[in-house]
Amino acid sequence: MINIFFFLMMLSELISASSQMLLKKSASKEHDSVIKEYLNPWVICGYGMLFIAMVISIFCYKGLGYMGVVVMEPINYIIVMVMSRLIFKEKFTRKKMIGMACIVAGILIFYAKV
């Protein structure tokens, strides 16, 4: 059941993971005030990207159905882990690897049945 909505959902997850990297980058910086902590380019872009990802995900319900979209959402965890490794040099632990394997296995099992 791989179609254009599947690829749009993957794009949505990539945008969502990228926005989380921007928010994490902002959180790692020291800010002069609470207002500057929430009203800075990193945060504004991050939340804007999350909004765009949400709109794309809602559109994907049309072609993937409820279960198809819900099953694809955890891909975001894998993308975030990989991007954190590349951008912030975070380590892959054994538990993270097992978690990623479980996510991929669940998605494969779901789509093998459909």
What Rg value do the Cα atoms of the chain yield, rounded? 16
Q: Measured between alpha carbons, how far is residue 67 from residues 5, 43, 99 in Å?
A: 13, 31, 20
On the question of pLDDT at 112 being above 90, the answer is no
Contact 53, 16 (CB under 8 A): yes
On the question of pLDDT at 55 being above 70, the answer is yes
Rounded CA gap, 79 and 87, in Å? 12
| Containing structural domain, residue 20 | 4-113
Say which amino acid occupies 46.
G
Q: Which of 9-13, 41-45, 110-114 has the lowest mean pLDDT?
A: 110-114
- pLDDT bin (cut points 50, 70, 90) of residue 110 is confident
- Give the mean model confidence (pLDDT) for residues 28-38: 90
- pLDDT bin (cut points 50, 70, 90) of residue 18 is very high
The structural domain count of the chain equals 1
- The per-residue pLDDT for range 74-102, each reduced to its tens digit, is 999 999 999 999 999 999 999 999 999 99
Contacts of 31 (CB under 8 A, 6+ apart): 37, 40
- Give the mean model confidence (pLDDT) for residues 52-73: 92
On the question of pLDDT at 114 being above 70, the answer is no
CB neighbour class for 101 (10 Å; exposed up to 12, middle 13-18, buried from 19): exposed
Rounded CA gap, 43 and 26, in Å? 6
Residue 1: per-residue pLDDT? 56
The alpha carbon of residue 66 and the mean position of all alpha carbons in its chain are separated, in whole angstroms, by 18
